[in-house]
Amino acid sequence: MRLSVNKILEMKTNNDKITMLTCTDASFAKLLDDEGIDVFLIGDSLGMVIQGFDSTIPVSIDDINYHMECCIRTSKRALILADMPFGTYPDPQVAYENAVFLMQNGASMVKLEGGESVAPIITYLVERGIPVCGHIGLTPQSINLTGSYKIQGKNKEQVEQLIKDGLSLQKAGAAMTVLELMPTDVGKQITEQLDIPTIGIGAGKFCDGQILNLYDMLDVYPEKKPKFAKNFLAGNGSIKDAIKKYVEEVKKGTFPDENYSY
């Protein structure tokens, strides 16, 4: 039986670190499931690591759905978190229609990028039975506005806004939120102020869980990798051992250490 949203919420209460990796195919889904990965993110980063684009912008909801269905077929335990791609949640009703499509095809939860601005959309979805994961800090779908992948929360105003965003998502009904690319102390502040789990990616060791792109942590993606992307295949004898080591280090709280944090 798959982990439920309520079980993920309990993991924060019990200080049981949540393990998450991106997953896009049946073979890896079976392996990750067997090694105890708690959540699969069917992420729009597949546009870069699988489709070869230079951003996540071209990814469609049909792309997400195709890869999600591949992962569902060979896994039994992991919660399935599906990204809502760029342009699929411009307003509550369109977001609802797209989220329903993913949920009816097997998603356990959907993920939206953004802070206060998407809170009304999250409320609309949650009120209609759709669990939602937020995503604040660096939001890759905004690359055409930001121009680059910059560290967030570098000054007092930015930190205050990130905390405000996190609280807004929680109030809107989000069940958890991803914190991306921010100093460790900022990730800690947000995590301490939220009752819902935080999942860090470049946000330090104090988050309630961690996520990496599978292609980064196996050192497969050919482009330059961010500082937080530890190569877990190095020093381990197989991909299976690398996944096992990732789970072990996240659960113990030894990843990320200062070498993979800001």
Kindly report, residue by residue over 110-148, the tens digit of the pLDDT.
999 999 999 999 999 999 999 999 999 989 887 676 655
Q: How far apart are CA 145 and CA 102, in angstroms?
A: 27
Instruction: Say which CATH number the domain at 230 has.
Output: 3.20.20.60
Report the largest interatomic distance among the alpha carbons of the chain, rounded to a whole angstrom.
49
Q: For residue 140, what pLDDT is reported?
A: 85
* Residues paired with 42 in a beta bridge: 82
The span from the CA of 22 to the CA of 40, in Å, is: 6
Nearest to 23 by CA among 38, 45, 42, 39: 42
Decide if 258 is catalytic. Answer: no
pLDDT at 222: 87
Angle formed at CA 42 by CA 38 and CA 45, multiple of 5 degrees: 120
- Which tens digits make up the pLDDT trace of 142-185? 767 665 578 888 899 999 999 999 999 999 999 999 999 999 99
pLDDT (tens digit per residue) in 203-245: 999 999 999 999 999 999 988 889 999 999 999 989 999 999 9
**Are 104 and 68 a contacting pair, CB within 8 Å?**
no
pLDDT in tens, 10-35: 999 999 999 999 999 999 999 999 99
In this prediction, residue 225 carries a pLDDT of: 87
Identified catalytic residue from 35, 180, 192, 249: 180
Query: How far is the C-alpha of 251 from the C-alpha of 209, rounded, in Å?
Result: 8
Both structure tokens of 111: 């993920």
**Domain boundaries, position 231:** 5-260
Residue pLDDT, tens place only, 53-89: 999 999 999 999 999 999 999 999 999 999 999 999 9
Instruction: Single out the residue of 19, 15, 39 nearest to residue 210, CA to CA.
Output: 19
Nearest by Cα to 207 from 166, 156, 155: 166
Domain total of the chain: 1
Three-class SS state of 190? helix
Query: Distance between CA atoms of 242 and 57, rounded to whole angstroms?
Result: 30
Please tell me the predicted confidence (pLDDT) of residue 52.
96
Burial label for 149, CB within 10 Å (0-12, 13-18, 19+), is: middle
Instruction: Quickly tell me which residue has 């020093």 as its tokens.
Output: 235
